[in-house]
A and B are shown apart, each in its own frame.
Chain A
Amino acid sequence: MTVLAAAGARVGTRRRVKIGHVLVVVTAIVIGLVMLAPFAWMLSASLKLNKDVFTFPIQWIPTQPRWQNYVDIWTKIPLALFIWNTAKITIAVTVLQLLTSSLAAYAFAKLRFPFRDTLFLGYIATIAMPWQVYMVPQFLLMRELGLHNTQWSLIVLQAFTAFGVFLMRQFYQSIPDELCEAARIDGMNEYQIWWRIMLPLSKPALSTLTIFTFVTTWNDFLGPLIYLTKTELKTIQIGLRMFISQYSAEYGLIMAASVVALIPVLVVFLALQRFFVEGIASTGLKG
């Protein structure tokens, strides 16, 4: 092939590639818009009067945004209380989960003791088990312990999962043993090693676990549904649900409350999304 012909072929393919490229970009943007459309609609509906919410063609930006909606929701239902309840439970679960998982994972990853592998197998066996399979006995247990209809029930149920231990152990195994050995020779006991060496080095894994736990607990629906019947204890998920069934026609208010319910997760998600994505990606690769 002569140089000219080769150059010509290259130019030709480049133009063809360009069109394909543009197509890809357009498709991606369209799909992105479709995926986000419900949220956009939610946002715009939250600023409308109830009668305007369903106007068609859709008025994406309301001519007279009804900011009053965002004021009313705090008074019509105890939204602030729900948010506070959810925050309490989520933070407690996250902290307990991080603490106990990383402690346990250190032992499973770096220490030798009898039954280590058997016990760890016990953890793994439950990972695939759907929670719904044993939620009934759990409920009975909570009732026996008098924790039923308290927020402690939810905290205690979710703070000690196998997932946390599994994730942290996976990560700890990637930290070289020599670091722990050097630390032992430097005179540190195992607790000091965990605190001064393992924890600081496991920030990526801790971040991943934090966001997983945070999102899962914040969005948890069935748990609060079963365990929290007193209104003042309810979390935002079932509180919102209650609101929706009470004021089923107050579309504007419902949307405003939903938007507010989404914001904390959005913030946490945007802040830590890198770890979230990396965490998911790595489970996929190792799976």
Chain B
Amino acid sequence: MSSVADMSYDSSRAVPAPRRSAQWRKVLVAYSFIAPNFIGFTIFTLGPILFSFALAFLHWDGSNPITFAGLDNFWRLFSDPSFIAALWNTILYTVLSVPLTLVCALALAILLNQKIPGRNFLRTAMFFPYVASLVAVAVVWNMLFNPEMGPVNMVLYTLGVDPRHLPRWAADKNWAMITVVLFGAWKSMGYYMVIYLAGLQSINRDLYEAASIDGAGAWQKFRFVTVPQLAPTTLFITVMLTIQSFKVFDQIYLLTQGGPGTSTLVLVYHIYNQAFLSWDLGYSSMVALVLFLIVLAVTLIQFRFTRRAAL
């Protein structure tokens, strides 16, 4: 046994002093890892977010002094026809495009989950619109749906539709929203198809076999196995799609510029107009705040709804 006589120690001392400097060094190293990203993040994202919430209660046009607005901007929302139109249109867009995209994505996923030749190519083909440059596809879309010359109307005409009843698509205030919704669905269904594919592939095969033994046909298997098993995925996609729909801007700007009239004016477009065309920064931030709260509320409701359904 080695001698320990010459070792002095004090077991009542919980943490020896030298250890603290080692701790500090560890902490510093850790912070040095997160610093580059976190500093940039705070300055360029977190900061503006907080400032945005503040701006909603101020009057500012970017150059003149800031004045306190209290809830003025908020009350103004109710008497602003553009805001009301934007709110309505955004809700309409969401209500139309979320189910459409979801159903198409699911149908595509089921279709492309089968063992068919060229499956990988087809999956890529479905997915490609999502990554394609928005400006390029928007201009093609506008051309395709050109009321006078576009192939879509030509095809409809060939199928026997009376030229006077051919939809004027983006030029018609009743059809403009539909045009935009169709575009959005076409562009993004590939993305959600991928998510559904992953969900489908994670369903336990045994469940289908058990259903077969129980005598279920294809439709029943879909209703009683696939759909319930995909419920978490469906919820996730619904939430994502809803958030995306409330944020829609780019395609509206490119396809219809919010028109004709205000038939496709959406909330973000209204924010854009107010901020960068009218320089009414306080008011636009209020619209933005309202947008955020709506998105938050809808998301929470969706979560609550499915948790209750799951119970």
- Tell whether, in the assembled complex, residue A138 and residue B44 are in contact, meaning their CB atoms are under 8 Å apart: yes
Using Cβ atoms and an 8 Å threshold, which residues of chain A touch B191? 280
Is the C-beta of A244 less than 8 angstroms from some C-beta in chain B? yes
Chain B minimum-CB-distance residue to A100: B37
- Tell whether, in the assembled complex, residue A132 and residue B247 are in contact, meaning their CB atoms are under 8 Å apart: yes
Interchain pairs with CB closer than 8 A, number: 278
A99 vs B268: C-alpha distance in the bound complex, in angstroms? 32
A106 vs B144: C-alpha distance in the bound complex, in angstroms? 48
Q: Which single member of A35, A104, A134, A156 contacts B34 (CB below 8 Å)? A: A104
A259 vs B108: C-alpha distance in the bound complex, in angstroms? 26
Interface size class of B (residues with CB under 8 A): 35 or more
- Tell whether, in the assembled complex, residue A123 and residue B33 are in contact, meaning their CB atoms are under 8 Å apart: no
Using Cβ atoms and an 8 Å threshold, which residues of chain B touch A106? 33
Q: Which single member of B34, B41, B291 contacts A107 (CB below 8 Å)? A: B34
- Tell whether, in the assembled complex, residue B236 and residue A35 are in contact, meaning their CB atoms are under 8 Å apart: no
A41 vs B37: C-alpha distance in the bound complex, in angstroms? 43
- Tell whether, in the assembled complex, residue A281 and residue B131 are in contact, meaning their CB atoms are under 8 Å apart: no
Q: What does the 1/0 interface line of A232-260 toward B look like (CB < 8 Å)?
A: 00001110110010000001001100110
Using Cβ atoms and an 8 Å threshold, which residues of chain A touch B139? 240, 244, 254, 258
- Tell whether, in the assembled complex, residue B55 and residue A119 are in contact, meaning their CB atoms are under 8 Å apart: no
- Tell whether, in the assembled complex, residue B198 and residue A194 are in contact, meaning their CB atoms are under 8 Å apart: no
Least CB distance from A260 to B in Å reads 9
Using Cβ atoms and an 8 Å threshold, which residues of chain A touch B27? 113-114
- Tell whether, in the assembled complex, residue B285 and residue A136 are in contact, meaning their CB atoms are under 8 Å apart: yes
- Tell whether, in the assembled complex, residue A39 and residue B285 are in contact, meaning their CB atoms are under 8 Å apart: no
Is the C-beta of A188 less than 8 angstroms from some C-beta in chain B? no
Is the C-beta of A126 less than 8 angstroms from some C-beta in chain B? yes
Using Cβ atoms and an 8 Å threshold, which residues of chain B touch A185? none
Q: Which single member of B26, B149, B291 contacts A113 (CB below 8 Å)? A: B26
Is the C-beta of B260 less than 8 angstroms from some C-beta in chain A? no
Least CB distance from B57 to A in Å reads 13
Is the C-beta of B281 less than 8 angstroms from some C-beta in chain A? yes
B contact residues vs A (CB 8 Å cutoff): 26-27, 29-31, 33-34, 36-38, 40-41, 43-49, 51-52, 55, 62, 108, 111-112, 114, 116-119, 121-129, 131-137, 139-141, 143-144, 146, 149-151, 154, 158, 186, 190-191, 194-199, 202, 232-233, 236-237, 239-240, 243, 246-247, 249-250, 253-254, 268, 271-272, 275-276, 281, 284-285, 288-289, 291-292, 295-296, 299
